[in-house]
Amino acid sequence: MQLTDTLRIHELSPEERAVYAALKPERLPEHVAIIMDGNGRWAGRRSLKRFLGHQQGAKSVQLVTETASRIGLPWLTLYAFSLENSLRRPPAEVNFLMRLLKSYLESNVQRMMDNNVRIRYIGRTHELPAEVQDKMRWAEEATARNTGTTLTLALNYGARSELVDAVRSLSAEMQRKHVGPDRITEEDVHRHLYTAHMPDPDLLIRTSGEMRVSNFLLWQIAYTEIFVTDRLWPDFRGIHLLEAIADFQRRERRFGGIGESCGEVEEDPKRIKLAAG
């Protein structure tokens, strides 16, 4: 599914266009989520300070978002700052990331407007510094009427705390409505997640080679295809997003079913007997 009325394929680079040409437009993911990892290693390999890795990472955010908007990807969600980041990183690095976010928003709102991108956030954003929240609100309001890609930044985000917040608000609702716990459905939990307004990710990309999901969208990725690349986030560009989508299109998604390539299910009475012990 893509946003066909906002497609801008002619704005892709020739290299991106070549990868895009091999994609099946009818099987584009609706929602891509990315764990952006490797900023520190990128800087370390160049004997640079870590903050320069984050700065280059912010450039990747801009370029990848623009490619996503050109191919009409409806939802792009980026893990920009985890709850654990704020607790476990030196305060100087956390402060730098906050300043970087603020200046990213300041200098990119015009580009988001030009690319018809709407920005939103998930996470315990009310715990972020007040001036960062002000800038976030400003960027969200400025881009609210854009109809292309929705870029969601996960900030001060943790999936377990998202579930805790969902349980708290769901139980408050149940009390208000005098509903018992046995009536809770998956749909109820979904309605109380930060992501209630968006579809679950079809594709989760993680850069820098780690095989972990790091407390990101745990409920939402139940049936998501995962693509891990060794490329470090500051080296990740739009073309790599398109390559990940090409890989995604070669997968067979089953959602717990048996898939199309499995053929007819033949009954083998002997097997059934054995399996039954």
Is there binding between residue 36 and ligand FPP (CB under 6 A)? Answer: yes
Is there binding between residue 128 and ligand FPP (CB under 6 A)? Answer: no
Which residues between 134 and 163 bind ligand FPP (CB under 6 A)? 153
Contact predicate 39/58, CB 8 Å: no
User: Between 23 and 44, whose beta carbon lies closer to ligand FPP?
Assistant: 44
The yes-or-no answer on residue 85 being catalytic is yes
Residue 42 C-beta-side C-alpha neighbours within 13 Å: 23
Cα-Cα-Cα-Cα torsion 192, 194, 199, 203, nearest 10 degrees, comes to -130
Q: Could you give the 3-state DSSP secondary structure of residue 76?
A: strand
Q: What's the distance, CA 30 to chain centroid?
A: 11
Q: What's the distance, CA 129 to chain centroid?
A: 23
176: left (phi over 0), alpha (psi -120 to 50) or beta: alpha
User: Between 210 and 268, whose beta carbon lies closer to ligand FPP?
Assistant: 210
Is there binding between residue 40 and ligand FPP (CB under 6 A)? Answer: yes
User: Between 132 and 166, whose beta carbon lies closer to ligand FPP?
Assistant: 132
Least distance in angstroms from the C-beta of 262 to ligand FPP: 39
**Annotated catalytic residue, options 5, 37, 115, 230:** 37
Among positions 20, 104, 227, 248, the unique one binding ligand FPP when judged by CB under 6 A:
104
d(CA 125, CA 268): 56
Binding footprint of ligand FPP on the chain (CB under 6 A): 36-41, 54, 57-58, 61, 80-81, 85, 100-101, 104, 153, 233
The residues carrying an active-site annotation are 37, 85
